[in-house]
Structure 1
């Protein structure tokens, strides 16, 4: 192209204005790969992605993938996204190690991957947008132990073995337990983030240990709620147990309000919206964030999308804020 032709093309572009330039851009195809959509938290996370202003405006074409709690299913979904020419992927992995293979496949295909909510053992991520699960594990265990007065025995209902939430919340649980050396762990087993599985575990443990169980540390709310159901089904008084979970799902908020458990809100909406902003930035370097979470959480600066890690703060659910949190779910 000659200099004259370049000048003419430039002038024409200026004359057409920004709107015309945007009209020439295809929508950015982003996949949100959830580890599983059976429970409320990941449902809230994925639904939040669909409310992102760039999705609502048509700038982004968003596709939600249900990983069905299976790392191999997620890898197959990555291969589908690669074949279909997706521009970026937001990834909530089922397994901290197995998920690294999926990330490698995408990056080798030139597709940026933003980790969200759950971690993967890969240094190839564009960034991670989530919350500090070690802190959550400590806070929930401390809530149980404080209510017990650091005496008595507990059971721990873990997340899926090998998932980053299970690993890191477990670390936090141990930190809190180390502060109460007189407390013993009677049982420790995975409930796979499932209310039904946790209920079955708790039913068995109540049969084995009965009133010796004073505290239940459940690594998510669904499992804490399952433990509560088991206690009620056994004809026991929930108030005799110290119970805590993590996430702030709707049923848990109601259980906190009724005094049955403690919970810590994980802001899945902020994680999802922030991840999409970072993913768009990886595709279009000129992009400025559209989500309002950067103003909501000033302690998590946008930093022009250049940070490798964005930690969304936890919010302990209390009597003072639970009604407002529930109102936000209407």
Structure 2
């Protein structure tokens, strides 16, 4: 009986010791995300959590709430927690860059996901936002026969997606001299603000507006609502980016002419896979670029869940 008790006690000690070792060896990743109020960012975060669970990684995920200052503080917190890798979904190109600098100075690898900073991270996983701007504006140019007036709704000013989507769109506009950009302003990725801005433009320009390019679906759907209320939607082409579920449904029912699919699943999972390789000191690609795809009624069935 004593032998059995002793054996059980030793087994318990060994299993506790094993669990402690496992806790110590478990890779810890800290991730700071632009905003958990943004559906596309939530989609990326969900995929990160799913992949981290699958790979046995401890993921600490926090919301920067659109604040670069808060994001930098979160990076500092991750450094003090001695995480193995940091993932950052930057709030802004310039203002979030000190977070990258601090991580690298602490000798902690940092992966930017979805959005860029002026300071180069250890690795980047995302897409070339210029490409999405080119795809969207090319579609508008073709629908309008290369002639007409366009308004552009920006995301948060200073964020990589906003800067690059504008650049891509303007590359195409240069190729069509009869396609005029008559107004452009930010609606900060927000549906309600997109609707308010579109209402203001309808009052200012009325039927002069032939097309709307919104930097994301949320703002595009807001613009659609304003155009529908004014009885103008049938005469105005509206294109946006991200292909969130509401955006895809709007393409299916014809209220949104097109959206540009951005792959949240590949971005989120790719960021975690890259972080794991870095934690194991394996070689990683400096940039993992995931292509965008145009979504219209002709191929909507490929994207709707």
CA 1:82–1:250: 2 relative to 1, 3 Å: same
Cα distance in 1 between the residues matched to 2:227 and 2:74: 39
Cα RMSD for the two superposed structures: 1.8
3-state SS of 1:326 partner? coil
Once the 2 structures are TM-superposed, how far is the Cα of residue 213 of structure 1 from its aligned partner?
Answer: 0.4
CA 1:318–1:185: 2 relative to 1, 3 Å: closer
| 2:293 corresponds to | 315
Deviations 1:221-279 (A, max 9, x none): 11111100111222x14121111111111111011112222111100110111111111
Contact map agreement 1:145 1:215 (CA 8 A) in 2:
no
| 1:36 corresponds to | 35
| 2:223 corresponds to | 227
Contact map agreement 2:254 2:297 (CA 8 A) in 1:
no
| 1:135 corresponds to | 131
| 2:9 corresponds to | none
Contact map agreement 2:149 2:211 (CA 8 A) in 1:
yes
Please give the residue correspondences for 1:143-222 in structure 2 after superposition, counting only pairs within 5 Å.
143-222=139-218
Cα distance in 2 between the residues matched to 1:233 and 1:29: 50
From 257, 263, 270, the equivalent of 2:252 is 257
Cα distance in 2 between the residues matched to 1:38 and 1:285: 34
TM-score by length of 2: 0.89
Contact map agreement 1:29 1:88 (CA 8 A) in 2:
yes
TM-score by length of 1: 0.83
Contact map agreement 1:36 1:66 (CA 8 A) in 2:
yes
Q: Does 1:55 align with 2:53?
A: yes
Where do 5+ consecutive residues of structure 2 fail to align? 1-17
Cα distance in 2 between the residues matched to 1:151 and 1:180: 7
Cα distance in 1 between the residues matched to 2:114 and 2:206: 35
Once the 2 structures are TM-superposed, how far is the Cα of residue 323 of structure 1 from its aligned partner?
Answer: 2.5
Cα distance in 2 between the residues matched to 1:73 and 1:326: 35
